[in-house]
Every structure is written in C-alpha cells, then in structure tokens.
C-alpha cells in the first residue's frame, strides 16, 4: 500500500518537476514522469524481495531481525544506540548476533543472554530514541537478564515468538 501511494506521489512530483524545470510539452513530461516512477517502483520491488527473502531465511531457522540496546549503560556507549542483528530465542535465553547490511551479514561475536524476566509492556520507540533504528513499526520490550537490563526492538510477531519461546524454558 505504501509503495503504491509513494509511486503516485513520486509520479506527480516527477511530472511537475519536468514541467517546471524544462521546456517539455505536457506529453513529454508525463512520459518522463512515468519512466522515472517505473524505475522507482522497480528498485523498491527489488528491495522488498530481498527483505522478504531474508525474513523467510530467518524464519526457517527460528530467528528474526532485531535491534538491541543496553539502556542502563554509560551515556555515549550503547545506551542510546540500537545495534542491528539476528536474535535466536531459546528456552530461557536469547542469542544475539550483531549483523550489518540488509542481508544481515554477521559482524562480531554472538552474545547469549539468560533471560530472567520479559517485562510485559511493549512500547513504540520515540523519535529521539531512534538512533540506528531504520525500521518503522517495530516495538520494544525490556528484558531483565543475568547481565542487567536489555531492550530489544523487533516486529510485533517476532516479539510474540520471542516471549513464547523464552518463557517456555527455565527462568
């Protein structure tokens, strides 16, 4: 839906820009606007395909894309920065593998968190908290672990899976 709406807005903008900036006729501006909109649409479709393929690959392995931060750490460290990675929930613990790029290439070593409690409240991430969190529609939950408080942001269905799997094991 967002892609269709964005395409229409882009088409109107591109056509208007061609009419204002160049000496083209209305037909030339409409055709140029359509061609640029088609290019925009194709690039967006490739991006969507890659996101779906990555999600399917993670789902097959019981993993999901997540962002993690440590809210009680010192200011300027990882207290305000969301670290992208792949979360693998298991009974009573979570393994978080930092990753880069949209293909989620691993970077660094994985960290295991023994989860004592998953706080039940989910919250939207405020605008001032969004450092390095490009994904909209993600919610955050707070985990009390053996190493302290950790916040994890993911899609609502991934958080459901996380809570279900982590709560099934020893606390």
The pLDDT of residue 146 is above 80:
yes
Q: What is the pLDDT of residues 153-162, one digit of tens each?
A: 998 888 888 8
Is 87 in contact with 69 (CB distance < 8 Å)?
A: no
Quote the pLDDT of residue 95.
92
Quote the pLDDT of residue 79.
64
Quote the pLDDT of residue 5.
78
By the 10 Å C-beta count (0-12 exposed, 13-18 middle, 19+ buried), 48 is classed as: exposed
pLDDT band per the 50, 70, 90 thresholds, residue 135:
low
Quote the pLDDT of residue 169.
63
Nearest CA to 163 among 132, 127, 122, 102?
122
Quote the pLDDT of residue 78.
62
């Amino acid at each position: 839906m967002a892609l269709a709406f964005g395409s229409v807005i882009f088409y109107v903008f591109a056509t208007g820009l061609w009419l204002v900036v160049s000496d083209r006729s209305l037909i030339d501006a409409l055709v140029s606007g359509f061609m640029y909109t088609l290019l925009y649409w194709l690039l967006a479709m490739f991006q969507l395909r890659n996101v779906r393929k990555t999600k399917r690959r993670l789902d097959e392995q019981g993993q999901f894309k997540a962002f993690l931060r440590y809210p009680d750490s010192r200011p300027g460290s990882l207290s305000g920065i969301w670290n992208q990675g792949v979360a693998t929930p298991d009974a009573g613990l979570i393994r978080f593998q930092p990753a880069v790029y949209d293909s989620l290439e691993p970077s660094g070593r994985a960290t295991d968190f023994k989860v004592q409690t998953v706080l039940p409240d989910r919250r939207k991430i405020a605008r001032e908290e969004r450092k390095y969190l490009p994904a909209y529609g993600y919610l955050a939950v707070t985990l009390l672990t053996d190493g302290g408080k950790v916040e994890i942001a993911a899609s609502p269905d991934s958080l459901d899976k996380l809570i279900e799997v982590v709560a099934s094991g020893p606390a």
